[in-house]
A and B are shown apart, each in its own frame.
Chain A
Amino acid sequence: MENLKEFNVDGTVYKTELTKKFENRKNWERPNPKNILSFIPGTIVEIFVKEGQEVKAGESLMILEAMKMKNQIEMPFDGVIKKIHVEEGVRVPNKMLMLEIE
């Protein structure tokens, strides 16, 4: 037995090894509705809005092309674009912050 760590289950602390999978797990974070994240890795083909622009819910912000599909990224609610983190033509990984809303 190597690398014994303390591990709490229901208030009791056990001495035990951890697994790689357990140590690499992602901690959950509450999603922020003002942050628009990529939902699939792909390429930004076109951006329709500018920083500071007022946008209505449902309007298209940009097109994220992935798996040969052109996905419209929609404005989730009425608001102002605070910051755009991507440019046309760039490749984005999954869950990358693409755009922030005020």
Chain B
Amino acid sequence: MSKTSMDRRDVVVTGIGLVSCAGEGIAAHLEAFAAGRPKATDTERFAPYPVHPAPPLLLDGQIPKKSDQRQMEAWQRLGVYAAGLALDSAGVKQDAAFKAAMHLVVACGGGERDTAVDGAILTGLRDAADPGAYLNEHLQNDLRPTLFLAQLSNLLAGNIAIVHGVTGASRTFMGEEASGVDALRNAQSRIASGQIDTMLVGGSYSAERPDVLVVHEMGGYLRKGDYRPVFEREGEGEAGVILGSTAAFLMLEAAETAAAREATIFARLLPVESDRPRREAGSVGRSLSTLWGEAASKPDLVISGATGVKEITAEERAALDVLTPGTPITALGDLTGHSLEVTAPLGAALAAALISEGTAREITITTVGHRRGEGVIRLSALS
């Protein structure tokens, strides 16, 4: 899609909310970046699959009502928590009118399960005389009615509206890695074009779910065993994704309105580039190169959202080595694990924090979806 002169306003990041195995908040993630490796890897609980778990959180700090906490499952609590951190960071948490007018774009999946109920039903179905009737009876009797609200994708946005009062309107993008890139692309574009002044953008993902591990084991996408750096998984049997529980939100704002309310500006978000050419050998490298050019990317640091899936990770690395030789590359997976929809917002939020503290003046985030979709996201210092 061609960009036009409609991209006329600068878009800046004025709030950051981060949660991952590194901890919560900006400082914890800057420390993780400096350390260059994940703070926590759990190889036991979901063996043979390692996961980078969510940190312990005092939920009351961002989700004061226990009833709200109970109405959500882990992925939603992480997201609502991170959204609250972003609002705090932007200095608008107490401004009810501001939040009531603010729009929201969320990138996420959904589909939380009650694994105990599922297991019991599957066990019972094996010998059930009438499987259909058995399934109906047990789903009706054993499913918690409110579990549905933890399964619906748009209920992360719904919970952010309820808990934080962000009620402009929300749109939820689904679709793994690409949805996070496109949430940023769409939000940036809406603000740049003058359609809207302020948006909260982000997503959350819980890796600590046996059911998502089934889905990603199908296709053989998961790494087994222990952590190994994303770009060092070339050996036989080494490749694959290590999932991480994360949440990331950014408050995006038109530069002029941010200045008017004297907001702290972390970084500028430039127009986001994404595409989904049909996957074939070489397509990832070609697509990244094209998007890199369209974004006019010239970073002094790259944050790669590489999954660790063998061929596409190698292609991405090779492409980056040509596109920006010598530029330091940090794999987000080495700090937080891979978290699908959250990859792009997480990378962008971390980049904004790094730019703000002077580690880099311009950072490019690359995302290569494990099945489809490539993205290039540029953030830069204001001047």
Is the A/B pair a real complex? Answer: no
Write the residues of chain B forming the contact surface with A, with a CB cutoff of 8 angstroms.
none
Write the residues of chain A forming the contact surface with B, with a CB cutoff of 8 angstroms.
none
